[in-house]
């Protein structure tokens, strides 16, 4: 199990929890488990094509998973903490 930090705007979907536990051997599997637990969150995480929305970032330590060689296939260790942190943008 891995801990996932949930940002403020998505905590409505987790009953107010800022940290949840998710299961997955990779970041992608962890996201699948997140949506399985909280399906109403899907549309804010993924677009209509099933791609991660551009403002969704996942950090392992200081590393943004988007910048890692394996991307969403990056493996997860049991004691790692994943942080879901959005970029805030508009204009």
**Residue ranges in 49-88 that form contacts with another protein under rule CB under 8 A:** 54-55, 57, 59, 64, 83, 85-88
Where residue 72 falls (left for φ over 0; alpha for ψ -120 to 50; beta otherwise) is alpha
d(CA 82, CA 91): 29
43 part of the interface to another protein, by CB under 8 A: yes
d(CA 9, CA 21): 18
Could you tell me the smallest distance in angstroms from the CB atom of residue 75 to another protein?
Answer: 22
Nearer to another protein, 23 or 85 (CB): 85
d(CA 51, CA 79): 27
8 part of the interface to another protein, by CB under 8 A: yes
Interface residue list for another protein (CB under 8 A): 7-12, 43-44, 54-55, 57, 59, 64, 83, 85-91
């Amino acid at each position: 199990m891995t801990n996932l930090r949930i940002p403020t705007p998505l905590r409505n979907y987790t009953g107010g929890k800022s940290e949840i536990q998710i299961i997955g051997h990779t970041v992608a599997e962890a996201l699948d488990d997140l949506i399985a637990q909280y399906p109403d969150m899907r549309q804010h995480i993924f677009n209509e094509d099933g791609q991660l929305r551009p403002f969704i970032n996942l950090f392992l330590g200081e590393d943004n998973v988007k910048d890692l060689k394996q991307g969403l296939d990056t493996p997860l260790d049991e004691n790692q903490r994943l942080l879901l942190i959005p970029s805030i943008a508009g204009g």
